Structure 1
Amino acid sequence: MDHEQPPESRDDKPAASDATSVVADDDRAVAPKAGGLMRSGLVVSVMTMLSRVMGLVRDVVIATLFGAGDGADAFFVAFKIPNFLRRLFAEGAFNQAFVPVLSEYATRGSKREVKELLDAVAGSLTAVLALITALAMLAAPWLVWVFAPGFGRDPEKLALTADMLRLTFPYLLLISLTAFAGSTLNTWNRFAVPAFTPVLLNLSLIGAALLLTPLFDEPALALAWGVLIAGGAQLAFQVPFLARLGLLPRPWPDFAHSGVRRILRLMAPALFGVSVSQINLLLDTVLASLLAAGSVSWLYYSDRLVELPLGVFGIAIGTVILPALSRRHAEQSGEHFAAMLDWALRTVLLLGLPAALALSVLAEPLLISLFHYGAMTERDITMAAMSLRAYAVGLVAFMLIKVLAPGFFARQDTKTPVKVGIVAMVANMVFNLILIWPLAHAGLALATALSAFLNAGLLGWLLKKQGVLVFQPGWGRYAVQLLGGCAVMGLGLWWLAPDWQAWLGWSVWTRAAWMAGLVAAGAAVYFAWLAAFGMRLRHFRMTG
């Protein structure tokens, strides 16, 4: 496809390999240094792990104080709507469209051109999202009815959710600007700050649950205030780091800017294609609101556990390869581009397969250790375990989508993932209708998993067909190593773990000690098997 070039991307410009970082000369290119993908991925993984752990602490606090009742259901829906749009716009379509264009400007353009692009994008993004936020706050009751129609049977629950949504929706504007700042930092290989930023959301919600709850007649309203506070804190945290790089924008809407027009063209189809899994999860919420009370919360708690390995492994690898792939595409380095995709696939399978198996084997113990306190009942654990196992089936597919989609977006191809997304979306609805009757909420989770496999399979097949994904030698041996390690680990966990009902009577420290021991033992067995059969860390080194 034709790609519009930055104004100064002529042959007399310095090559990308000659540029190092942001420089004072406005006429020089500003491309960042290439870095090790494994090291960058490890940085993002560690920070994401911290964020996810704090997220689990947050959910323990929420589960203890609110359980799976009406207040919790109302908050989860009120938070899910702007959070879904955040993933769709900010971390989904916007990020996938903005990073390739920004990388191209940084690789081929000058500092002045990069600054003009940042100013125009920041201003245009703010203008659009401010309007959307205002309209959404006015239409809050109708939005709740659309996203959770089952709440319409309970006017008080519907009204409470609408009140919460008016507090949580401005989070979309704030976190989208945060994502803009984070995407810019990622393009310059500053991965740690954006990866740490979500910790502030978790800290804010924990603080709101513990400190603000007594101030409200409806305690769950404190959580909505916590979301709003978190949005401002996350944006403020990243501003100094942008300023240090000399990339702090002066926002001014300019929809006529060539870079903004290109981003908008890329975003339009990407709005759907890159976030199909999130749309599927939202459809689960809509249908779950029509099922037994607590279904929304059961899906939420099980999804939170799946999000831990997905964020730490899948999203982390997807985050570091997108700017790297974008640079390689701008430099027309097809061989390196293909090698990076192959590396990403191997890496997510290395970690995703054992994580999915462990979630399935230890579903009830994990849920008990994290959530069986206060208002959370044994029935809630049993129901959430059903959906957790169903989501775990699709964990590897969720991860593969995160690393295959950048193979299209880095080449500024957003139309192909849309076509794949439409197929997966239709399939998900069919699976929902088939599985919801025999399996209730777990059927919704399984439908999401199956449609994710279809999505990932089609993305991989099309990349292979286009010659972009080229499998490197050694995949047969690699598959045997991974499957053998997973089998040994799974058998070990099944043999070592006590019956899950025994966990119900244990103290929090006993549960934590057992869980830590099981995780350590499983990891030790798995990686010992891989090492015994010749796998080494050096096999995963890759320069971005």
Structure 2
Amino acid sequence: MSRLLRASAIMAAGTMVSRVTGFVRTMVLAAAIGTELLGDAYNVAYAIPYSILDLLLLGVLSSVIVPMIVRAQQHDPDGGRAFEQRLLTLATVALIVVAVLAVLAAPLLIDLYTDWRPGSAQFETAVLLARLILPQLAFFGLGAVAGAILNTRERFAAAMWAPVLNNVVVIVVFLAYAGGKDLATVPTGQLVLLGLGTTAGIVAQAVVLVVALKRAGFRFRPRFDLRNARLGEMGKAGGWTIGYVIVTQLGFMLIINLASAAGTAVPNHGVSPYTYAFQLFQLPYGIIGVSVITAMLPKMSRAVADGRLDDLRTEFGAGVRLISSVMVPASLLLMVLGPAITVPIYAHGETTVADAVYIGNVLQVYGLALMPFAVFQLLLRVFYALGDTRTPVFVGAGTTAASAVLMLVANALLPPAYLVMGLAFAYACAYALGAAVAWTIAARRVGGLGGWSVGTALTRMYLAALPTAVLALAAVWVTQQVFGELAFVNSLIILAVGGGLGGLLYLAVAHKMRIPEVNSIVGMVAGRVGR
């Protein structure tokens, strides 16, 4: 637990700064272009490269490439260096080709992801922005592979801090933007600034990771002897992972199509509110969950390679409890404080208070999904550590199918003004079902995952977080009774009482209840402050 906590803390610090600067970036973006047609066009164009990367690379990194690098480091005579060089060469060349093809296919991609009519101002704006943003595929992919190699060397800091530079670059670009939110009047030069500036941030991020890899002792030499790149092994293992990513991306495509239709029917209730609420929803998982997963996956892979399933179970249980000690109170606070969180962040410039409140309503629903989503992601890493990339495809397919059915039901029953909230609820229900199924299968594979002890720990964490939720509710009610509807100042009051004092109350109650994960975090922070 202590090693996992220390490694996770290093990454969490970088991720915290990255997420904070990321929210500043989102705030500046929302203030500059709003949440109407231009905002939706930008957010769709921005999302497509990440969908392609998920499909081609990012899912394979955690499930296939990291375990393969670990095995190469353990068994190859050169410690896996030649394999790493071949991998980086292959990824660089392949992603440059993909980036060029994606730029050429930008109109087809926008048509695929939205219901916007080709030739309309919104469609053509999205195409222009996509052509300027899609080249980042090559740089993002290069940085992702470099980050994976760094992780196997237990060099976590650069991968967590590099996105900070990306965010700073893009923040400067958004501050320089002066085109407004009206598609009919925004100059083409300002759209070019948005697109190229977004790509420039990814270029800076990739450069940081490549430099960090060099400082870690990695010397890159292009290698095209792909016969020794283990492509057959990678394809066999990665084929199922790509299948999983395809399934999840089909679900994402459905979300964007439905949200874009809702935004067309009711401005400010489409893709942009979904995107901004989802980014906030991902914050607790991004800070704690990603950090823990990044630290635990190489350890679980080594445990499996050495036949130590007891260590795998121990590592998984520690990871779940550590993540839950933060996710449990965070999920309750999101459900209570959603609009109070989003008004200070987004209600600036071209985004009104009413627009920000709607983003907060969507965030409240997403709070239901936080724990199921985090546990689901941890469970996938158990399968990946076992070298099983097939089972996650079927579990993911079932989860996505359930989500798609619920989303279509929401689309049929809800008016457009409430559809994005319905999509968030479908997402939460689907991941709760998926986590239950994945847990059952994984527990059978490894001889149990300590369900009783994890369940007991979660129950105690929810009991410890209950007073925090009550305090947050009271803060919302009292503040609105005294000051009226939400605005910037009273939202800050609600956050200070409900979030700030509520968080301290959770720590105090959890400490009294002797919840070890919370005590470890408190002890680590107190120790660092006391130095």
Q: Same fold (TM over 0.5)?
A: yes
Q: Tell me which residue corresponds to 2:45.
A: 78
Q: 1:275 to 1:403 in 2, by over 3 A?
A: farther
d(CA) in 2 for partners of 1:363 and 1:283?
25
AA in 1 matched with 2:40: D
| SS of equivalent to 2:154 | coil
Instruction: Name the counterpart of 1:157.
Output: 122
The whole-number CA distance in structure 1 between the counterparts of 2:444 and 2:487 is 55
CA contact (8 A) 2:461 2:515 kept: no
Is contact 2:4-2:295 (8 Å) kept?
yes
Match of 1:54 among 21, 28, 36: 21
From 161, 167, 173, the equivalent of 1:208 is 173
Q: CA contact under 8 A between 2:41 and 2:126: conserved in structure 1?
A: yes
- Superposition pairs for residues 75-224 of structure 1, below 5 Å? 75-110=42-77, 112=78, 114-148=80-114, 150-152=115-117, 155-213=120-178, 216-217=187-188, 219-224=190-195
Superposed, 1:370-409 pairs within 5 Å as 370-409=345-384
Unaligned runs of 5+ in 2: 180-185, 522-531
Deviation at 1:55, TM superposition (A): 0.9
Amino acid at match of 2:398: V
Residue equivalent to 1:532: 512
CA distance in 1, matches of 2:58, 2:82: 22
Distance 1:512 1:538, change over 3 A: closer
Identity score, percent:
25
Superimposed CA distance per residue, residues 138-182 of structure 1 (whole angstroms, 9 cap, x where no aligned partner): 11111100011x222662211111111111111111111101010
Which amino acid letter does the alignment assign opposite residue 512 of structure 2? Answer: A
Q: Structure 1 unaligned runs (5+)?
A: 1-33
SS of the equivalent of 2:223 reads: coil
Q: In structure 2, what is the equivalent of residue 30 of structure 1? A: none
Amino acid at match of 2:158: V
Q: What residue is the counterpart of 2:275 in the other structure?
A: 300
RMSD: 2.4
Task: Give the 5 Å matches for 1:313-462.
Answer: 313-436=288-411, 437-438=413-414, 439-462=418-441
Alignment of 1:12-23 (within 5 A): none
Letter of the structure 1 residue corresponding to residue 44 of structure 2: V
- Per the TM alignment, residue 80 of structure 1 is displaced from its structure 2 partner at its CA by 0.2
Matched residue, 1:41: 8
Output the CA distance in 2 between the equivalents of 1:242 and 1:296.
37
Residue 514 of structure 1, CA deviation: 5.1
Corresponding position: 1:470 with 2:445: no
2:287 paired residue among 308, 312, 316: 312
Distance 1:348 1:260, change over 3 A: same
Higher helix residue share:
2
The offset of 1:223, in angstroms, is 2.3
CA distance in 1, matches of 2:401, 2:453: 36
Distance of 2:236 and 2:2 partners within structure 1: 30
Aligned partners of 1:139 and 1:43: how far apart in 2? 40
Q: Against the structure 1 CA distance between its residues 276 and 385, is the aligned structure 2 distance closer, same or farther, given a 3 Å change threshold?
A: farther
In the other structure, the counterpart of 1:259 is: 230
Q: Could you tell me which amino acid in structure 2 is paired with residue 463 of structure 1?
A: A
- Quote the residue 2:213 is aligned against: 242
CA contact (8 A) 1:168 1:228 kept: yes
Amino acid aligned to 2:426: A
CA contact (8 A) 1:107 1:327 kept: no
Give the conservation status (yes or no) of the 8 Å contact 1:239–1:248: no
- Shift in Å at residue 468 of structure 1? 5.1
Q: Equivalent of 1:488, from 467, 486, 494?
A: 467
Tell me the matched-pair count: 504
| Contact persistence 2:340–2:492 (CA under 8 A) | no
1:367, 1:385 within 8 Å by CA — same for their partners in 2? Answer: yes
Aligned-pair CA distance for 1:209: 0.9
Distance 1:256 1:160, change over 3 A: same
CA distance in 2 between partners of 1:35 and 1:188 (Å) = 19
- Contact 2:18-2:167 within 8 A present in 1 as well: yes
Following superposition, the deviation at residue 102 of structure 1 comes to: 0.5
The 8 Å contact of residues 277 and 398 in structure 1, kept in 2 or not, is answered as no
- Deviations, residues 199-225 of structure 1 (Å, cap 9, x unaligned): 122112111111254695463442211
Letter in 1 for 2:513: F
Q: What displacement does 1:256 show?
A: 2.3
Cα 1:446/1:153, change in 2 over 3 Å: farther
1:515 Cα offset (Å): 2.4
Q: Which 10-residue stretch deviates more, 276-285 or 390-399?
A: 276-285
- The CA distance in 2 between the partners of 1:278 and 1:539, in whole Å, is 39
Match of 1:269 among 222, 240, 261: 240
Amino acid at match of 1:72: G
User: Conserved in 2, the CA contact under 8 Å of 1:277 and 1:452?
Assistant: no
Contact 1:315–1:402 (Cα < 8 Å) also in 2: no
The normalised TM-score by structure 2 is 0.89
* Structure 1 Cα separation of the partners of residues 48 and 158 of structure 2: 25
Over 3 Å counting, the alpha-carbon distance change for 1:152 and 1:470 in structure 2 is same
Assess, with a 3 A threshold, how the Cα gap between structure 1 residues 441 and 153 changes in structure 2: closer, same or farther: farther
Rounded Cα–Cα distance in structure 1 between residues aligned with 2:274 and 2:318: 32
SS in 2 for 1:376: coil
- What is the CA distance between 1:518 and its match in structure 2? 3.2
Q: How far apart are the structure 2 equivalents of 1:118 and 1:194?
A: 17
Query: Relative to structure 2, which stretch is displaced further, 87-96 or 291-300?
Result: 87-96
With 289-298 and 98-107 compared, the bigger mean Cα shift is at 289-298
The reply on whether 1:280 has 2:280 as its aligned counterpart is no
Return the letter of the residue paired with 1:81. Answer: I
- Residue 279 to residue 522, structure 1, CA distance change in 2 (3 Å): farther
Contact 2:259 2:420 in 1 (8 A): yes
Amino acid at match of 1:283: L
**1:485 deviation in Å?**
1.1
CA contact (8 A) 1:208 1:225 kept: no
Matched AA of 1:80:
A
* 1:216–1:222 contact (8 Å) kept in structure 2: no
Per the TM alignment, residue 534 of structure 1 is displaced from its structure 2 partner at its CA by 1.8
Instruction: Using the TM superposition, give the Cα deviation of residue 276 of structure 1 relative to its aligned residue in structure 2, in angstroms.
Output: 5.9
